[in-house]
Amino acid sequence: MFNFSGLIDKVLEGVKIDKKIFYFGKIESHAETQKKSLKLIENQRALKLHLERQGFEVVLAGRVRGHIEKFCVRQ
């Protein structure tokens, strides 16, 4: 996984950082894309754990839901 903490420390070198907070929405499972949803949820859990180990406070706010758009291509 990526070293987010190292990136922030390098970019904000010389800036006093009191707290590192990472926000993202909770992914919800969708019946039509169950397999993909479960994979995304698993990846999100791994990312949350990885960020917490790097000293971030992780805030899950809101939710991410599946959305399918139907479109028509005219020729």
72 within a domain of the structure (yes/no)? no
In the chain the beta strands, taken as DSSP E runs, fall at 21-27, 57-64
Residue 44: per-residue pLDDT: 94
Q: For residue 41, what are the domain limits?
A: 4-64
Please state the domain count of the chain: 1
74 within a domain of the structure (yes/no)? no
Q: Which residue has the tokens 């790097």?
A: 54
50 within a domain of the structure (yes/no)? yes
Residue 55: per-residue pLDDT: 92
Q: What pLDDT tens digit does each residue of the chain (75 aa) get?
A: 789 888 988 999 999 989 999 999 988 887 888 898 899 999 999 999 999 999 999 998 888 776 667 776 666
Residue 2: per-residue pLDDT: 85
31 within a domain of the structure (yes/no)? yes
Q: Which residue has the tokens 């070293």?
A: 3
75 within a domain of the structure (yes/no)? no
pTM: 0.73
